[in-house]
Structure 1
Amino acid sequence: MNFPYEKEFRTYCKQKKKLADSTISLADKSVTTFWNYYAANVDSDANVNDVRAGDIRNFLASLETKLHFKSNTVNKYLSHIKMYFVFLSEYNYIITYPLLSLRGNKFDRKQKYIINWMPYLPDLIKIKDIHPETVKMMAAIAAGFKPKEIVVLKTNDLLKHVDNDEVKQYIKDHTDYSKSADPYIFARKNGEPYASDFNINQRIAPDRQIIGMQLTTHKLRMSFVYSILSDHQLSDNQILKTLRITLKSLTYYRKNMTLYVETEDFKLD
């Protein structure tokens, strides 16, 4: 399977990076191998804008655990994948660069996620300096909404899925209704939604120090996914319904949880 913008990437390597044809072929092979891995594990049509650092970490870890590649070989794959995503970002083919957390040619074999934070939302709203956007984001994730849905999520749609009255009232009290009777939970000054979650993630990032966990739409979604998977009282059908994923994705997440993920229960100091 060809990866997105393959022809343009090869031209970039040749004309801008001045790489030899043999090096370009190696980079092409690395990116193709990654893309085939990624495309085989997503719900629907693979979109390069949806790739996250965790997907790349899992791929690199699979090279070690399944194919028994040595570290220097894995690092070559990482270098080529980084070059590919730098190219995509530089030419605006993607909105968010996914490799900021993969510095140098090293990566954590285990991803750490804080789980089971959802019941603490009523306590979080009582924290003096917490940003309302953080509470809204966590409430939306806890309600099962996916990152793409949250960017264009309306307030009333969120409130329908919030059971706690205090949290529901907090969201109402910290929502600007001047532009609409049913505004987006994250809106620009003109009332329109953001084009992506980049600005939202920047606004909630400072609360990481308060809450003690990473705060991005993707990280929160994955911590929610692994929270649900850690509940052994739930049947497969209940998990599929709660997460709104396919059986294929459930298998993928379970494999990740076994091989590549470390979890820790949420604690509020």
Structure 2
Amino acid sequence: MKIVYPYQDAFERDLAQRDIAQATRDEYTSTLKDFFHYLENFNPTYQREHRVNQLQTQDVEQYLAMLTDSRQILNATYNKVLSHLNVYFKFLFSHNWTPYLPTLDLKSKPKEETRPVNFHWVDDLADLLADSRLHVYTRAVLLLTAHGYPARVYLHPNFTATLKTSDWPADQQAFLQTWHRFVAPLQDRFQCADWLLKQRAAADPHLTLPGLHKYLRPDEAIVGFRLSPSTLYQGYLVNYLRRHPRLSDREATQQLHLEPDSIDYYRKLARQAL
């Protein structure tokens, strides 16, 4: 097993002894790996000596602020990450491996109110694509989502190699001309045929999900609804199910590439939207 954070072996043994499910233990690993990766790259305190016993509250606050500001995480995700870090540092403190509890004074965030899924944006796609105030990345995300592609698919390398757009409607073809004029220089620079590419030199030219959020977030003030790729995709699914109420569960899961146990959830959202 590759060690990705300090005292990983001992901490994982402790979690196992407490009969914590493997899926939850994997979440701890993901959180702590990301936390220490961030510290190695952006935190002077940790960069100097890579000593976990030097970390204090402001070091954890810096990481949580990055998650909130750059990655636009929800309060529920913030609270989960804080909980993971709190359990980890309490473990270190109990073994005298750190003299501090840097999470002691950090508070969880209030539960956010559930907002209805916006499915109307799919019906307004033509107007959205024609709105030059929106960044081309925003409009490309809307277009791809409206054709049923989630972010994990359209951000994957080589996705556009099999993307067929010739039969898309005229208003979408008009935007595609704008899009290709924008992306062609980036494709030439990186020698990459994919669509969602970084605008600065990089070893990996593909735009990441956090990087994509930086373009989407400012445009929310223009459109008046959330542009998070996951939220947009939920809206697309609800819109599709509203338009096709006679689809069987099997047909819906096949056409929308959903897991069978999630179709009831989206059907419920579609019924609520009626």
Q: Shorter-chain TM-score category? A: 0.5 to 0.7
1:234 aligns with 2:238: no
Q: What is the deviation of 1:254? A: 4.2
Higher helix share: 2
1:124 aligns with 2:128: yes
Output one character per residue of 1:169-218: Cα deviation in whole Å (capped at 9) or x when no partner.
Answer: 31232232233597322112459543621111111211111111111211
**Kindly tell me: are residues 33 and 241 of structure 1, through their superposed partners in 2, closer, same or farther at Cα, counting changes over 3 Å?**
same
Of 188, 198, 201, the match for 2:198: 188
Task: Show the counterpart of 1:221.
Answer: 233
Give 5+ residue unaligned stretches, structure 1: 13-20, 39-46, 58-77, 89-102
Of 213-222 and 224-233, more deviation after overlay is shown by 224-233
Q: What is the deviation of 1:111? A: 3.8
Identity rate, percent = 15
Q: Say how many residue pairs are matched.
A: 199
Alignment of 1:50-129 (within 5 A): 82-84=82-84, 104-108=108-112, 110-129=114-133
Task: Show the counterpart of 2:178.
Answer: 173
1:160 aligns with 2:168: no
Q: Distance in 2 between matches of 1:233 and 1:249?
A: 17
Give 5+ residue unaligned stretches, structure 2: 35-71, 89-106
Letter in 1 for 2:84: Y
**Kindly tell me: are residues 210 and 228 of structure 1, through their superposed partners in 2, closer, same or farther at Cα, counting changes over 3 Å?**
same
**Contact map agreement 1:134 1:204 (CA 8 A) in 2:** yes
Output one character per residue of 1:25-58: Cα deviation in whole Å (capped at 9) or x when no partner.
Answer: 9xx78x859949x9xxxxxxxx989xx978959x
Task: Show the counterpart of 1:197.
Answer: 209
Q: Distance in 2 between matches of 1:82 and 1:34?
A: 18
Q: Which structure: larger Rg?
A: 2
**Contact map agreement 2:126 2:172 (CA 8 A) in 1:** yes
**Kindly tell me: are residues 194 and 106 of structure 1, through their superposed partners in 2, closer, same or farther at Cα, counting changes over 3 Å?**
same
Matched residue SS, 2:196: coil
Output one character per residue of 1:73-94: Cα deviation in whole Å (capped at 9) or x when no partner.
Answer: xxxxx95663217889xxxxxx
Q: Distance in 1 between matches of 2:112 and 2:124?
A: 28
Of 252, 255, 263, the match for 1:250: 263
**Contact map agreement 1:111 1:262 (CA 8 A) in 2:** no
Backbone CA RMSD of aligned residues: 4.6
**Contact map agreement 2:75 2:109 (CA 8 A) in 1:** no
**Kindly tell me: are residues 159 and 86 of structure 1, through their superposed partners in 2, closer, same or farther at Cα, counting changes over 3 Å?**
farther
Matched residue SS, 1:226: helix
Matched residue SS, 2:247: coil
Q: What is the deviation of 1:137? A: 0.2
**Contact map agreement 2:160 2:195 (CA 8 A) in 1:** yes
**Kindly tell me: are residues 128 and 155 of structure 1, through their superposed partners in 2, closer, same or farther at Cα, counting changes over 3 Å?**
same
Which structure has more relative contact order (CA 8 Å, sep 6+)? It is 1
Q: Distance in 2 between matches of 1:229 and 1:10?
A: 48
Q: What is the deviation of 1:124? A: 1.2
1:148 aligns with 2:161: no
Q: Distance in 2 between matches of 1:245 and 1:182?
A: 30
Q: What is the deviation of 1:167? A: 1.4
**Kindly tell me: are residues 141 and 79 of structure 1, through their superposed partners in 2, closer, same or farther at Cα, counting changes over 3 Å?**
closer
Matched residue SS, 2:118: strand
Matched residue SS, 2:130: coil
Task: Show the counterpart of 1:209.
Answer: 221
**Contact map agreement 2:120 2:239 (CA 8 A) in 1:** yes
Q: Distance in 2 between matches of 1:205 and 1:116?
A: 19
Letter in 1 for 2:137: E
**Contact map agreement 2:237 2:256 (CA 8 A) in 1:** yes
**Contact map agreement 1:186 1:194 (CA 8 A) in 2:** yes
**Contact map agreement 1:132 1:174 (CA 8 A) in 2:** yes
